[in-house]
Amino acid sequence: MTETWEEAKISKLLMEAFAPQLERQRASDSAKPTANIDVLITFDETGVSSHPNHISLYHGARAFVASLVKGKPGWTNPVDLYTLSSVNVLRKYTFFYDMFATLATFAMSMGKANKEHPPTLVFMNQLAGEGALGTAWSAMTTAHKSQMVWFRYLWIGFSRYMLMNDLKREKV
C-alpha cells in the first residue's frame, strides 16, 4: 500500500484498457493512433498528498499517453492527460479561501487559450444544493465509511479539495 508501483506496468494496463488496437496502428504508417477515451485524469507529480501510489499513477499515465504517439511525429495525441494540482500545506486546509489562489493560477495559465484542449480546468462545488458539498461529504461518510477515522473529519471539513479542483493539461 505504501510502495511505488511500476510505471511500465501501469502504462501497459492503460494500453490494454484504452488502446488495445495501438500495435496494429503503429505497424501502419498511415494509421492514426486512436484510443477509446478522450481524456485521462489523475494526480500530478507530487500526488497531492505525496502518497507513493498517487505519484506512480502520474508517471504511469504519462508513459501511456506518450506511447500513443511514439514514433508518430506530427500526429495529434488522441488522449489529453489532465492532472490534479497539488497545493502547499498553507493552502490545503483553507477551504473556500483557497479560491483566490486557485483563480490566480488559472488566470496565469490562460495565456494560450485553446478551446478544444483547455490548458487548465477549474471545478468548484457549490456549498448547498444538489450535487454540491453535501454530496461530496456523504460520498466520504457513507460510501467510504470505513475510512472515516477522526482526522478524515478534519479533511472533509477544511480541505480545499472538497470544494475545488484545478486540473492542468500535461504536455507529453
Residues near other proteins, by CB under 8 A: 1, 5, 10, 13-14, 17-18, 36-43, 48-49, 51, 53-54, 56-57, 61, 84, 96-97, 99, 103, 106, 113, 115, 118, 120-128, 130-132, 135-136, 138-140, 142-147, 152, 155, 159, 161-165, 167
Which residue spans within the chain are E strands per DSSP? Answer: 39-43, 80-84, 120-124, 164-169
**Nearest distance from residue 20's CB to other proteins, in Å?**
14
In terms of DSSP bridges, do strands 80-84 and 39-43 run parallel, antiparallel, or are they unpaired? Answer: parallel
**Nearest distance from residue 111's CB to other proteins, in Å?**
13
Scan for cell 483566490, then name that residue. Answer: 100
**Nearest distance from residue 109's CB to other proteins, in Å?**
10
Neighbours of 89 (CB within 10 A): 6
**Nearest distance from residue 29's CB to other proteins, in Å?**
26
| Structural contact between residues 56 and 11, judged by C-beta atoms closer than 8 angstroms | no
Of 170, 71, 72, 82, whose CA–CA distance to 123 is shortest? 82
